[in-house]
Amino acid sequence: MTTNKKLAYSNSIFLIPAIYVISIWFIYGIEIKYGFNFNKFGVFPRTLSGFKGVFLTHFIHSNTSHLFNNSIPLFVLLSSVFYFYKDVAYKVLLIGGFFTGFITWIIARESFHIGASGVVYLLFSFVFFSGIIRKHYRLVSLSLIVIFLYGSMIWYVLPIKEGMSWEGHLSGFTVGLILAYLYRNKGITKEAHQFTKTEFDLLFDEEGNFSPPETVEEELPE
């Protein structure tokens, strides 16, 4: 299958990212309208009750600023994955989202950890490292664009800002890197150069010695 066919447009490219972003805004809207607080459904590390956050944390946000800061990179990166890596896009989102939450549940501080930023770091890491690992010129270009737009995010996998779940960021970043390696041969890959012999090449043998093919002249009978 050619690269152009693999990059063919499909409705899921923007549909799934749009559904995800709309859903997190809808959930936050319910919180505001009815006075709910869904923070308790986030990841609370190393407790059975806090394990439900592994599945729910990516849909819960503390305020509009938190929500807005996640929405744009979430839509851009998720759209990129569904366009350039559509063969594994659902696996990256679902499996990656689970393990991002799970690792956060294991390593994080004893506090509620909420927000889609873990998924944002998952997608950022996957897109960046996939392009580098596959060495395909279009995917490398995408990696460079991603690092240009969101490269400063890398610092927030470290505990440099109070109140921010750097553990969730680190978990997503790590899972994205692992998935980029595991799925390196899925979808678009760098095609090996296929050598085609020309008439000039036929003048040499397998060892490179000049050996033109013998010519036989046909003679007409007398």
- Per residue in 70-116, pLDDT tens? 999 999 999 999 999 999 999 999 999 999 999 999 999 999 999 99
Do 115 and 97 contact (CB within 8 A), yes or no?
no
Report d(CA 114, CA 133) in Å as an integer.
Answer: 31
Put simply, whether the predicted model's pTM sits higher than 0.85 gets the answer no
Handedness of CA 147, 152, 154, 156 (dihedral sign): negative
Looking up tokens 């150069």 gives 193
Across residues 173-191, what is the average pLDDT? 88
Handedness of CA 7, 9, 10, 14 (dihedral sign): positive
What is each CA distance from 114 to 59, 172, 199, in whole angstroms? 8, 13, 66
At 185 the pLDDT is 92
> Percentage of residues in the chain with pLDDT exceeding 70?
80
- The dihedral region occupied by 115, where left means phi > 0, alpha psi between -120 and 50, and beta the remainder, is left
Of the two residues 151 and 51, the one the predictor is more confident about is: 51
Do 204 and 211 contact (CB within 8 A), yes or no?
yes
Round the average pLDDT of the chain to a whole number and report it. 87
What is each CA distance from 50 to 53, 112, 174, in whole angstroms? 6, 8, 22
